[in-house]
Amino acid sequence: MISPGTLLNQEWYGSPQGREVLATLLHKSQQRRKTFGLLEKPMIGVHCPTDEVKYKVFLVGKSGVGKTSTVAKISGNAVPTAHSETPGIQTTTVYWAGQVKQLNKVIMFSLQFWDAGESATKKYDHILPACVAQTDCIIFLFSFVDRSSFEDVSQLITKMTTPKDTTCKIVIGTKFDQHAHSEITQRDIRDFEQNWKIPILKIRNVPDTEGRNHTNETSQILCVLCEHLWHRDIIMAGRSPSTDDLKDKQNFV
Amino acid sequence: MISVVVVFFYYIFSRRITIEPTCIVQTKIKTFLILKLILQLPFPVIGSLNGVHMFGSSHGVSLQSTTTDDAKIVWKVFHESITLIAVSQDDDADDCHMNNLLNLIASALVLLCGIDEVSNIKNVERFKKEVKVCMQLVDRILESPETSGFSQLTNAVDIICAPENAILQNFLDAFAEAAESGFGCLFVERKVCVATKKWWSMSANELVLLNLLLTSLTPCSSRDIPVFLPDTQPAIPHRLMTFELTRNIEVCVICGPSPSLAELEPEVVRFWKPAYDSLRTVGRLSPRNFPTNIALDHNLLGFLLVNKETNRCLHSVNPSLEDPSHLGETLSIHQRKEVLKTFYKKMVGNFFASSVSGSEMGPAEFSHQPMESYITTETHKCYTLQSGPYQIFTLYTDSIPTYAMRSVTQRTLSYLTKDKNVSV
Ligand SMILES: Nc1nc2c(ncn2[C@@H]2O[C@H](COP(=O)(O)OP(=O)(O)O)[C@@H](O)[C@H]2O)c(=O)[nH]1
Ligand SMILES: [Mg+2]
């Protein structure tokens, strides 16, 4: 497990350049992420060259755990208030930027989240293979107020990945706003992280009431996600990062 | 043994409701599926509403509707397996409008679950889980009239008519071909902008439901949703793929097993990038919804134009695109929508037959065919007339002289239907 800030420069977000890039990703109030249609991209000035890398991220977890809400929250869309099972597959592209320390270069991460409803996955054969195919990362979700969803996570990891496979793995605990009723202890989390070497992140998919703090929360999640994806690229390339790696990656994309 | 499921809705006009299956009561012969409601009716009331309907059917009588002092109750059985009961405020309108909503809800279940699941319920627990995918769509169908479009009322799909439609049609046809699909449609701000020939060949129910489905789901970049066409192919699952080109503008196709979502997505950018500016221009035309070169009477606050044959409807409650904060004394945008909807419900089913099924029964009782009608109030006036496949409903400020409404409405209809950029 890499600790936050190992690969991406955290100070950069506060720098003039970092703030300029963030301005292309957030609305003026900084309370919400901008959303981009498939024909659109963040418009970054020519004086700040960025390279774009694309990743596919698949979300798994039992029905009602908060997959759809988490994607809505992270992408800057309105979080659904009532649970409705997601029909079929739903993908959402989210942009996030970061400065890679070793390259001293700004990278635009294009993360495509894949979310599928449970009953569609069970009923139709094509849904799960489409989601799993060439995925770079799997996010396992559990709810802080549902112990069984937490226990499901270990099973899902064993079921969906092999020990050797290089897919990036992250766990997100939802409904953290209700942590007063949490059925999962700090200790559970520590044990899990030590055991699996997979980080557990927390999210509150509630409407933006506290403004900036909430974009901070999702920004931190995106940072961790991007850092792990970048780390995986380095490991897959099998050598320490160099500009060649980056070029390879781009050719690949 | 076929278990009968009673799905129950409490439908209130001024409030958006949220429903969710909560409890199941099983008896030897019947199974009730009760949907939780914000304003829940007590269980004995639900039981007696179902009981009185069952009592009738066991004596060969089909109970269709009744009214109390302030409420209206409508029953309808679908596929011999589901009874929908709707309770609403009594709106003094013909029952065809409530039945239309129930038809849409029943079709919504088929759209997302397939006819086999709906007509042959083997396991109620499973069915309860199945129908969860329909909840957002059902919520949208029952949405309050101030915010919803006109599709679910007229059973004709809302469209937007822009001068750019002609070129966008070419983009869409080419894209649908690349997707190996005959069915293609471009939605702009909850309305159909252009669609392929085959898309338009779908039934009115299907056109309306697909429109409502897309607007009911959480916004996202792309989707791959299994759907069944309730009227034409209710047993065969197709794949509805949608792509968000820019905010509130989505293109969608209905495909067989191929191409996959991942294969088609790169094509979207390739095919649609050159259309980006046109798409944005059409987006800006909403909520006017019709070309700016058509100048309508300044007394006109809004209109609804329905074509019974093509199952399309065009509405505008902001025909002069004025800033809503400058409306002053006149009706607000929400009020205009509501007034037009109420006026429509008064006319259709009582005097006019329209694309709403069952609306022909009331007018058939007359020895003649009413062609025009109007109402005047202290705040506004409404006029309607039918001509060929068209029915137009107009809303005016109270300053229009009553005698002028007829000719202004005729002229409005003619401007709208003769313009080359408008195809209702
Ligand atoms: N309070 C709270 N509710 C949440 C949170 N995440 C999801 N929910 C609710 O949980 C229900 C299920 O969420 P959804 O995203 O549809 O679950 P999915 O089936 O995994 O996609 C919805 O009613 C959400 O509003 C959260 O972080 N906090
Ligand atoms: Mg979901």
- Looking at the domain assignment, is residue B201 inside a domain? yes
Backbone angles phi, psi at A185, to 5 degrees: -95, 165
DSSP A8: B
B27, pLDDT greater than 50: no
What phi and psi, each to the nearest 5 degrees, are found at residue A58?
-110, 135
Task: Give the mean pLDDT of B209-237.
Answer: 95
- Residue B56 pLDDT class (50, 70, 90 cuts): confident
With 60 as the cut, is the pLDDT of residue A243 above it? no
What pairs with residue B391 in β-bridges?
A: B306, B386
A84, A92, A127: residue with CB nearest B220: A92
* Token pair belonging to A45: 């000035």
CA distance B9 to B30: 18
The whole domain housing B334 covers 300-418
**Residue A69 beta carbon below 6 angstroms from any ligand 1 atom:** yes
Give distance in angstroms: CA of B40 to centre of ligand 2: 26
* In contact, A143 and A66? CB cutoff 8 Å: yes
Interatomic CA distance for residues B114 and B390, integer angstroms: 34
Q: What is the total residue count of chain A?
A: 253
* pLDDT for residue B312 is more than 80: yes
Element (H, E) at B110: helix B96-113
In a domain, B313, yes or no: yes
B76-95 residue pLDDT tens: 888 888 888 887 777 788 88
Q: Are residues B307 and B388 in the same domain?
A: yes
**A96 or B23, which is more confident:** A96
Chain B contact for A43 (CB, 8 A cutoff)? no
**Confidence check: pLDDT of B392 > 90:** yes
Tokens of A122: 């069970």
Using CA coordinates, name the residue in chain A closest to B261: A130
- Minimum mean pLDDT range among A121-130, B28-37, B250-259, B295-304: B28-37
Strands (E), B161-279: 183-188, 191-195, 222-229, 233-246, 249-255
Q: How confident is the model at residue B19 (pLDDT cuts 50, 70, 90)?
A: very low
Token representation of residue B131: 């129908």
- SS3 letters across A55-72: EEEEEECCCCCCHHHHHH
User: Do B138 and B8 fall within a single domain?
Assistant: yes
Q: Going by C-beta distance under 8 Å and a sequence separation of 6 or more, which residues neighbour residue B27?
A: none
The conformation of residue B217, written as its DSSP 8-state character, comes to S
How many folded domains does chain B comprise? 3
Residues contacting B289, CB < 8 A, separation 6+: B159, B160, B161, B191, B314, B315, B316
At residue A65, does pLDDT exceed 90? yes
Question: pLDDT (tens digit, 9 = 90+) per residue, A10-30?
Answer: 899 889 988 889 888 988 776
DSSP lists the bridge partners of residue A94 as: A111
Residue B237 token pair? 């699952």
- pLDDT band, very low/low/confident/very high, at B326 (cuts 50, 70, 90): low
> By the 8 A CB rule, do A33 and A215 touch?
yes
The ipTM assigned to this model is 0.90
CA distances to B189, B332, B391, B410, B417 from B301, in Å? 21, 10, 17, 16, 19
Q: Measured between alpha carbons, how far is B236 from A150 in angstroms, rounded to an integer?
A: 37
Where does the pLDDT of residue B345 fall: very low under 50, low under 70, confident under 90, or very high at 90 and above?
very high
pLDDT at A103: 87
Looking at the structure, tell me whether residues B132 and B168 fall in a common domain.
no
When pLDDT is cut at 50, 70 and 90, the band that residue B148 belongs to is confident
pLDDT level of residue B61 (50, 70, 90 thresholds): confident
- pLDDT for B9: 44
Q: In the structure, what pLDDT confidence band is assigned to residue A192 with cuts at 50, 70 and 90?
A: very high
Per-residue burial over B251-269, b = 16 or more CB atoms within 10 Å of its CB, e = otherwise: bbbbbeeebbbbebbeebe
Amino acid letter at B109?
L
- Looking at residue B291, its pLDDT comes to 94
**Which residues of chain A lie closer than 8 angstroms to B219, CB-CB?**
35, 72, 77-78
Q: Tokens in use for A227? A: 């850092």
**H or E segment and range at residue B173:** helix B165-178
Which of A52, A91, A95, A132 to mutate to probe the B interface, most B CBs <10 Å?
Answer: A91
How confident is the model at residue B340, as a pLDDT?
95
CA distance B98 to B16: 16
User: Taking 60 as the threshold, does the pLDDT of residue A250 lie above it?
Assistant: no
Interatomic CA distance for residues B351 and B364, integer angstroms: 9
Rounded alpha-carbon distances, angstroms, from residue A170 to A197, A222, B374, B407: 10, 11, 64, 67
- The Cα B20–Cα B27 span in angstroms is 21
Hey, what are B372's tokens? 């025009």
Residue at a domain's end among B283, B316, B344: B283
Query: Which CATH fold topology does A10-237 show?
Result: Rossmann fold (3.40.50)
Distance CA B91, CA A213 (A): 47
Q: Which residue has the higher pLDDT, B179 or B31?
A: B179
**Which has the higher per-residue pLDDT, A1 or B25?**
A1
Residues B256 and B347 in one domain: no
Alpha helices in chain A (DSSP H): 16-25, 67-75, 118-123, 127-132, 147-160, 186-196, 212-237, 243-252
Scored b (16 or more CB within 10 A) or e, A13-43 reads beeeebeebbebbbeeeebbbbbbbbbbebe
Residue B158 has pLDDT above 60, yes or no: yes
Find the mean pLDDT for residues B238-266.
96
Indicate the pairing of strand A137-143 with strand A168-174.
Answer: parallel
**What's residue B127's pLDDT?**
83
- Label the pairing between strands B4-10 and A200-202: unpaired
Strand partners, A206: none
Q: Which of residues 246-305 of B touch A (CB under 8 A)?
A: 246-247, 249, 257, 260-262, 265, 268-269, 272-273, 276, 279
Nearest to A39 among B222, B245, B257 (CB): B245
- Comparing A16-20, B245-249, B288-292, the range with the smallest average pLDDT is A16-20
B36 falls within a domain: yes
Mutate which of A143, A205, A218, A221 for ligand 1 pocket (most atoms within 8 A of beta carbon)? A205
User: How far is the C-alpha of B176 from the C-alpha of B196, rounded, in Å?
Assistant: 8
pLDDT for residue B328: 59
Residues of B in contact with A122 (CB under 8 A): none
**% of chain B at pLDDT higher than 90:** 58
Residue of B287, B294, B293, B334 whose CA lies nearest to B314: B287
Mean pLDDT over residues B173-185, rounded? 95
The last residue of one of the domains, among B116, B142, B168, is B142
Mean pLDDT of A141-155: 95
Task: Output the six-digit token pair for B158.
Answer: 């809302």
Task: Report the distance separating Cα B98 and Cα B357, nearest Å.
Answer: 11
Highest mean pLDDT among A145-154, A232-241, B98-107: A145-154
Q: In this structure, is residue B183 part of a structural domain? A: yes
Nearest to A130 among B217, B246, B262 (CB): B262
pLDDT above 50 (res B24): no
- Judge whether B267 lies within some domain: yes
Q: What is the mean pLDDT of chain B?
A: 85
Same domain? B170 vs B263: yes
Cβ atoms B249, B241 nearer than 8 A: no
CATH number at residue B413: 3.30.450
Q: Are B154 and B313 in contact (CB under 8 A)?
A: yes
Q: Cis omega before residue B259 (within 30°)?
A: yes
Apex CA A243: angle with CA A238 and CA A245, to 5°?
A: 30
The SS3 call for residue B218 is: coil
> Is B200 part of any domain?
yes
Q: Could you tell me if A44 and A24 are in contact, meaning their C-beta atoms sit under 8 angstroms apart? A: yes
Instruction: Kindly state whether residues B235 and B118 are assigned to the same domain.
Output: no
Distance from C-alpha of A32 to C-alpha of B164, rounded to nearest angstrom: 32
pLDDT band at residue B23 under the 50/70/90 scheme: very low
Tokens for A46?
């020519």
Q: Which two tokens stand for residue A5?
A: 């800030």
Question: How confident is the model over B191-214, as pLDDT tens digits?
Answer: 999 999 999 999 999 999 999 999
